[in-house]
Amino acid sequence: MSPATGLPVDGEPAEVGLLQQLFECEEYLPQFSIVAEKDGEVVGHVISTRGWVGELELLGLGPIGVVPRLQRHGIGSALMQETVSRANAAGERAIALLGGPEYYSRFGFVPSVSLGIEPPEPRWGDHFQLLPLAVWPGGVHGTFRYAGPFERL
């Protein structure tokens, strides 16, 4: 099963290898690696790594996943809310992610281009989003760069 879609896949989903590489890369930020447990079982996870726009450090969120049988039970929302809370407490400026605008807008994410930030891949369009946090400096322009393992996908 794909952690992203819950659908059957041939072989190992790309997210599995990506997660392993993210845990091992220099941009890994353990304080933003969060798991959700239920009855002693890991049922969801999210990871954020260092990303940049120019020299400005931001968080790149993802992958995020919840076991298919427990999706739509608030686990993903709890993981997102905890990430935002930790990021604000740590003085992070913003969180970037690639995902469905209809889902992530509920957390305050907006298309990155509306804030002057271009996605790493132009074809991502409004699916590449940014959540400006309490110390967002504004006036930032440039293209977002993810941690190294994303660029090798």
Q: Which residues, 6+ apart, have CB-to-CB distance to 43 below 8 Å?
A: 36, 37, 66, 67, 70, 75
pTM: 0.85
pLDDT along the chain (153 residues), means of 10: 48 64 78 95 94 96 91 95 98 96 96 97 96 94 85 64
Q: Which pLDDT score is estimated for 126?
A: 96
What superfamily does domain 14-151 belong to in CATH? Gcn5-related N-acetyltransferase (GNAT) (3.40.630.30)
Give the separation between CA 1 and CA 12, rounded to whole angstroms: 8
Domain boundaries, given as residue ranges, for the chain: 14-151
Residue 1 confidence (pLDDT):
42
